[in-house]
Amino acid sequence: MKSLISAFCLAFCLLGAGASAFAEDRLGVREQDEMQRKLAIEAAPNGNDQPLATAGDLGVSKQLVVAVSEEPSTIEMNVAEALEPVTLDEVIQQQTVQPTLDQFGYDIFSVLTTTFAPVESIPVPLDYIIGPGDTFVVQLFSASDVQYTLVVSREGKLLVPEVGALQVAGLTFGEAKTLITESVNSIRIGVKTLVTLAELHTIQVMIVGEVSQPGAYTVSGLSSLLNALISSGGIKRTGSLRNIQVKRGGRVVADFDLYELLLKGIDTGNIYLRHGDIVFVPPVGQTISIAGEVQRPAIYELKNEATVEEVLKLSGGLLATAAKNKTQIERITDQGSYTLIQVDLSARGASIIMKNGDLIRVLPVLDKMDEVVLLSGHVLTPGAYQWQRGMRVSDLISSKEFLRLGAEFNVGFIERENRESKRSEVLYFNLGAALNKRGTASDLELSPRDQVHIFDTHSARAPQLADTVRKLKNQETGQDRAPIVSLKGHFKHGGEYPYQTGDRLLDLIDYSGGLRSGTELKYSILARTDFTTGRVELIRLELAKALDNRRGDHNPRLEPYDRIYLFDNKSNRSELLKDEIAQLRRQTPYGQLAPIVEAKGDVNLEGVYPLTPGMRVEDLIVASGGLKEEAYGAAASLSRQSLLDGEYSRTDLRDLSLMKSNTDLDDRTTILQPYDQLIVRRKPEWIDSPKYVTVEGEVIHPGRYRVDKRETLCGLMTRIGGFTEDAYLFGTAFFRESVRQREQRALDRLMEQMDDLLAEVHMSPGYQKADKLPSSQGTNDTFQVIKQLKPAKALGRLVIDMESAVVKCSETADLVLEDGDRIVVPKYLDEVSVAGQVYFPTSHKFQSDRAALDYINLSGGTKELAQREHAYIVQANGEVMTVRSRASTWGWLGSPSNVNVTPGSTIVVPLSVDRINGREFTQSWLDMFYKLTVSIASVDFLFTQ
Amino acid sequence: MIRLRNLVLSTILMLSGCGSMEQLIRVPSEPDNGTVLPYRTGLHQRSVHTFEPVQMENKLNERNIKPRVENIFVLLDQTEAMSAQYRGIPLSEYVKEITRRILRTLPMNIFSEQFYVFDDRANESASVQMSRDEVLTHSNTLEGFAVIGTRDLAKAVDKLTEKISGMKTRSAVVLVTSWDQISDDVVESVMRLRQSQHSKSGFVVKGTIEDWTSSNDEGVCIYVVGVGNRMSRTILDGPETCGFSIAGDKIAQPRDTAHFVERAFYLDPADSDGDGIYDYLDRCPATTPGRIVGYDGCDRFEELEGVNGK
């Protein structure tokens, strides 16, 4: 069914639009025939007879809907195109029109050929000529109604009951009706008579000439010429549609022009046929083809039409998109070749006389917007505007109301088509000046098809210019390079910019949004490529001089593909110039050195810089951002690579003075050579960060002091004026950051070891049967201990002999101060603390005749868990000594140790580790407890007072 | 106190027209010393068998390279310590050979060909004047002139200081000796030598920067050529002082000798128009100051419109 539908579609389209492929059309007819046959065969055996015409009708009506929605007309397509946003893009148009053309009008015969039959259900017209075989139905209405069905006899008589034979053949239906009625009425008064024709007689006609199936046809007596033609299968494409003749008795009674019917709806000549008529279709006459922008491109047969204008009328006229002045007529000359005649349909061309076989090509108008200007960018109403002669920027943007917030006033951009050179050009203008000073030179005059672009201040411009840049690149030639420059580095909006011929560096900076603050004014680089050699040359420019003299060397005119590098004072310049420097290296031929120099040391921006022509040491210093504050100006070294004979290289180290001119040494005006390396040193004794020492406690002037290099403790103490009477010099705590860090690292390591230890303990429950505690109990204790130890912080206390260091300034006791040192001088303390595993940990009054064990005993003696042999004293100055160390003989039982106890010290009796865990860990435990307790005990007194 | 056998102090006077100086040269007493000098295997492994000096005159003329100094003093250490053997040859022989090579390379067209030899044990008037050719070709005959008794190298430097201090011109002192000879005494003597040339220093305040130097055209640069072991620097070098040290074997080859001579005694090539391009590369020798030039020394950008902008 689908193919049938499509076939119908094709047929319909052909009729309606008159434009489709010839071949497809033929195909469609064939398919239709086949389909009908197929349907008939299928219907026959099961008796499921379906009227074929219905199927066909259905198909047509369906296709009607589908066809409209499926393929838009040419006009619709043209309008759809025009509805798109206006662009200035040009589309290349070949001079092509439709690839094929059909002969006009023949499609009428391709529909429903075989199912055609004269319509019987319509009223018979009164002028219908009655002939033998017509069947009348005569109804008589009176007291009793009678109906007769009467057939005209061969003699032409109608036998009406009670009336007799009436001669009706040759009469028209109307006359026959009157005759019958009157005859009946004359005999039977009061009878109402109704006469109708039931069946019509058939007539035989000959259809000859250029028709599909010529021959004799029996058709309904009510058939017209067209009916007969259609039922005969239609006219072949070789037959004329404009000169169909009906001959009756040797005379031509009708001359039918089908075009009149198809184009104007006039059917004069479409007469009713009579018996014995001959329909003759002569061969087709002169034809003209019309292709292109007309309503119905097709091949037309000519009758009376002679001029182009008349022929165009046949095709329904020109489309709006037709280029009237560019119509072509392709004609066969008398010499037997083709020629082309260019005609202007809007002028006299319309009256050109056509010739058989001409092909009229109506080309479309150029798909190109003219007389418009386009406005884009940061405006409220972007789009196309009408161009007028003398139009200026200020006419397009009549007021600032058009601009969106943040529009750039300093620069606007126009892409223009040069009509002479056929090249895109760019123009920049100052929008602010254009609006404020209308009509002046800065208010540029616009040309048709200009594209005016307004920037904004914040977004990147390179993407907005990308299209133009691409266009310029596409149109460049070897001699005529695209006017494009790249702005790199410290630009507001860097990227690729087109420029106008004659633009200079500062112009481009304006285009890119102006000079940014923080731009290095003394050093910027212009990289220029010589396109004949492909070599890159880097030129150093000074913006300060360019601003000073806008027409001088430092503000040069730009050339295609220049790269401009601007720098700031922070970012790495070498990195930005990396590609250019790599190119300099690549292009250096054998036997030469690449023009590259390097600055190292105390310059602001170390790195590799290009050796620009005439570069001196001072220029390199500028390039590298200047000397640092701490740089040593009196002497720097210049390492120079020399080539001897081009093969041997030697490195010379030259000393040069940066700040003064010195004829003995090289100075800052020394001309640099390739691969020179400038190394700037630091000023001797430069103090990066001053050193401070804090002194607290019992001194006359506590506070924060700045100390010089190599200043000692003694020097500082003397300077700040000494100690108060209460000062306990022996107990002075000296904290040093570097020491603290070392201690902290050691402590951390210890903690890690403890963690490992703990893990081990957990992993091996009941490691030794001899454990004094159940393993679970032991690990729990260990865990508790470690948790308490975790926050331990190192203090960084340095044990010093303050007494001899300060009072005597003894060289062995004195020490050089460091930044962050903290000196705390405590008050005199006459007490001794006892801590740890004693029964009553407390403090005791210092008495010189008491020794360590005495204090322990004063605190109630050691507990069961105490490890008495490991008791130790933390002296006030931070020193730690075990109680037994001084003892020549360890006599715990009875004889007290003779260890000296100083005021402010703490005596610690540690816990017996044996009681906690297996003996194998004792040493680790001990070490840890010792360190931690010391660090706590040694400073305890400082903060308790 | 070491008893030094002989110390040779040689002074070459520069720039014809300047005052004459004394000179004592001790050259090796090789019997086969003709125009072709014998190859010293110890000097350098890559050495050629004969020393053909590089002709520097053309380069110097072409590139317009001007001398840095007006006087060159070559101090050859021939004290007793120098008789120590290094690779089978006494150090003193290296000293003489290096000196000979430097002298042969040094272009003489702008220097006067006056060589003075003097004996500092005797009276200065015992000086004898010789030409360079005589110095170079008849070196063995110099034996008789060279015997000088002095206490040590430091004394010789002091002696030199005496000679130079009166001069108002720039000088280069080439001290050819062994590295070990640079003793504290020598360092002190060299310091005295330098100070004698910088006596006119003053104190100038320029803006916020205090500048202790005056622009002094007088000055002395001290170059140490060390022979023997492979050291390459001495404590005589300083960042703020003129001159440098170099190992003898690094300047033994003809091109290296020439390189040393050029570096030590000559300035960079001249740039008369101050555009930063050496004259010998400068195709446009009179560039307007302030113009940007290319590597050929010509204006990089063609037009120069106005001076004060639009």
Highest mean pLDDT among A9-23, A466-480, B90-104, B207-221: A466-480
B292 to chain A: which residues are within 8 Å by CB? 539-541, 553-554, 556, 613-614
Return the pLDDT at A540.
93
Q: What is the DSSP string of A491-555?
A: -SS-EEEE--TT-BHHHHHHHTTSPPTTB-SS-EEEEEEETTTTEEEEEEE-HHHHHH-TTSTTS
Return the pLDDT at B110.
61
Return the pLDDT at A606.
92
- Once rounded to an integer, what is the mean pLDDT over residues A804-811? 78
Confidence check: pLDDT of A17 > 50: no
Confidence of residue B204 (pLDDT cuts 50, 70, 90): low
- By Cβ distance, the residue of B276, B307, B308 closest to A616 is B276
Confidence check: pLDDT of A811 > 90: no
Confidence check: pLDDT of A892 > 70: no
- Once rounded to an integer, what is the mean pLDDT over residues A18-46? 50
Distance CA A592, CA A518 (A): 37
Q: Higher model confidence: residue A880 or residue A452?
A: A452
Neighbouring CB atoms inside 10 A of A27's CB total 14
Return the pLDDT at A663.
61
Q: What proportion of chain A, given as a percentage, has pLDDT over 90?
A: 15
Neighbouring CB atoms inside 10 A of B221's CB total 22
Confidence check: pLDDT of A162 > 60: yes
DSSP state of A186: H
* Partner-chain contact A553 B306, CB within 8 Å: no
Those of residues 636-655 in A touching chain B at CB distance below 8 A are: 636-637, 642, 644-645, 648, 650, 652-653, 655
H or E segment at A310? helix A308-314
Condensed to tens digits (0 to 9), the pLDDT of residues A408-465 reads 888 999 999 888 888 888 999 998 888 888 888 888 899 888 999 999 988 899 999 9
Chain A CA closest to residue B291: A553
Confidence of residue A806 (pLDDT cuts 50, 70, 90): confident
DSSP state of A389: T
Q: Which candidate, A479, A385, A494, places its Cα nearest to that of A423?
A: A479
Q: What is the DSSP string of A686-698?
A: --SS-EEEEEEES
The amino acid that residue A309 corresponds to is E
Q: Higher model confidence: residue A80 or residue A681?
A: A681
Residue to test with chain B: of A663, A668, A669, A673, most B Cβ within 10 A: A663
Q: Could you give the residue ranges of the DSSP H alpha helices within A84-171?
A: none
Condensed to tens digits (0 to 9), the pLDDT of residues A37-77 reads 665 555 444 444 443 333 333 333 333 333 444 677 777 87
**A47-61, A101-115, A279-293: least confidently modelled range:** A47-61
- By Cβ distance, the residue of A549, A557, A662 closest to B309 is A549
A554 to chain B: which residues are within 8 Å by CB? 292
Q: Which candidate, B172, B137, B154, B166, places its Cα nearest to that of B244?
A: B172
- Once rounded to an integer, what is the mean pLDDT over residues A382-394? 88
Which phi and psi angles does A148 have, rounded to 5°?
-115, 140
A537 to chain B: which residues are within 8 Å by CB? 294-295
Return the pLDDT at B34.
36
Confidence of residue A577 (pLDDT cuts 50, 70, 90): very high
Confidence check: pLDDT of A620 > 90: yes
Return the pLDDT at B309.
38
Confidence of residue A529 (pLDDT cuts 50, 70, 90): very high
Confidence of residue A35 (pLDDT cuts 50, 70, 90): low
Return the pLDDT at B10.
44
* Partner-chain contact B244 A655, CB within 8 Å: yes
Q: Are A482 and A470 in contact (CB under 8 A)?
A: no
* Partner-chain contact A551 B309, CB within 8 Å: yes
Distance CA A591, CA A24 (A): 77
Return the pLDDT at A709.
80
Return the pLDDT at A828.
84
Return the pLDDT at A507.
92
The amino acid that residue B162 corresponds to is E
Answer left, alpha or beta for residue A518, where phi above 0 means left and psi between -120 and 50 means alpha: left
* Partner-chain contact B292 A554, CB within 8 Å: yes
**A204-208, A391-395, B126-130, B237-241: least confidently modelled range:** B126-130
- Once rounded to an integer, what is the mean pLDDT over residues A574-585? 92
- Once rounded to an integer, what is the mean pLDDT over residues A354-379? 84
Structure tokens at B266: 């000559």
Q: Name A759's Cβ contacts closer than 8 Å, sequence gap at least 6.
A: none
Q: Higher model confidence: residue B13 or residue A911?
A: A911
B63 touches chain A (CB under 8 A): no
Cα A284 versus chain centre, distance: 61
* Partner-chain contact A642 B259, CB within 8 Å: yes
Distance CA A353, CA A343 (A): 12
Return the pLDDT at A199.
75
Q: What proportion of chain A, given as a percentage, has pLDDT over 70?
A: 80
Distance CA A274, CA A278 (A): 9
Confidence check: pLDDT of B123 > 50: no
**A27-36, A629-638, A778-787: least confidently modelled range:** A27-36
B238 to chain A: which residues are within 8 Å by CB? 655
Pairing label, strands A495-498, A484-489? antiparallel
Q: Which candidate, A51, A73, A56, places its Cα nearest to that of A9?
A: A56
Neighbouring CB atoms inside 10 A of A557's CB total 16
**A28-37, A280-289, A711-720, A763-772: least confidently modelled range:** A763-772
A550 to chain B: which residues are within 8 Å by CB? 309-310
- Once rounded to an integer, what is the mean pLDDT over residues A815-841? 86
Q: If you count residue pairs, one on A and one on B, with CB atoms under 8 Å apart, how many are there? A: 106
Return the pLDDT at A261.
85
Q: Are B225 and B98 in contact (CB under 8 A)?
A: yes
Measured in angstroms, the CA of B79 and the nearest CA of chain A are apart by 30
Q: Higher model confidence: residue A659 or residue B143?
A: A659
Q: Which candidate, A626, A612, A625, A627, places its Cα nearest to that of A676?
A: A612
ipTM, 2 decimals? 0.76
Structure tokens at B207: 């803006």
Distance CA A875, CA A900 (A): 9
Structure tokens at B114: 């006056």
Confidence check: pLDDT of A608 > 90: yes
Q: Name A514's Cβ contacts closer than 8 Å, sequence gap at least 6.
A: A410, A492
**A364-373, A784-793, A831-840, A845-854: least confidently modelled range:** A784-793
- Once rounded to an integer, what is the mean pLDDT over residues B234-244? 78
Condensed to tens digits (0 to 9), the pLDDT of residues A227-271 reads 888 878 788 888 888 888 898 888 888 888 888 888 888 878 788
Distance CA A60, CA B98 (A): 117
**Side-by-side strand order, sheet with A872-874:** A843-845, A831-836, A906-909, A872-874, A880-882
H or E segment at A354? none
Return the pLDDT at B218.
55
H or E segment at A618? helix A617-623
DSSP state of A913: G
Confidence of residue A791 (pLDDT cuts 50, 70, 90): low
| Percent of residues in chain A assigned helix, strand, coil, to nearest 5 | 30, 30, 45
Chain B CA closest to residue A542: B292
pTM: 0.64
Q: Name A757's Cβ contacts closer than 8 Å, sequence gap at least 6.
A: A782, A921, A924
**A62-66, A766-770, B104-108, B169-173: least confidently modelled range:** A62-66
A670 to chain B: which residues are within 8 Å by CB? 268
Return the pLDDT at A490.
92
Q: Higher model confidence: residue A342 or residue B47?
A: A342
Which phi and psi angles does A826 have, rounded to 5°?
-85, 165
Looking at every residue in chain A, the average pLDDT score rounds to 79
Pairing label, strands A797-798, A733-735? antiparallel
Condensed to tens digits (0 to 9), the pLDDT of residues A326-359 reads 888 888 888 888 888 888 887 776 778 888 888 8
Neighbouring CB atoms inside 10 A of A480's CB total 11
Confidence check: pLDDT of B275 > 60: yes
Measured in angstroms, the CA of A568 and the nearest CA of chain B are apart by 22
User: Distances from the Cα of A195 to the Cαs of A134, A147, A174, A184, A198, in angstroms?
Assistant: 12, 10, 10, 11, 10
Measured in angstroms, the CA of A491 and the nearest CA of chain B are apart by 23
Torsion, Cα A342 A346 A352 A355, to 10 degrees, reads: 70
Residue to test with chain A: of B44, B196, B210, B240, most A Cβ within 10 A: B240
Neighbouring CB atoms inside 10 A of A649's CB total 11
Which phi and psi angles does A527 have, rounded to 5°?
-105, 125
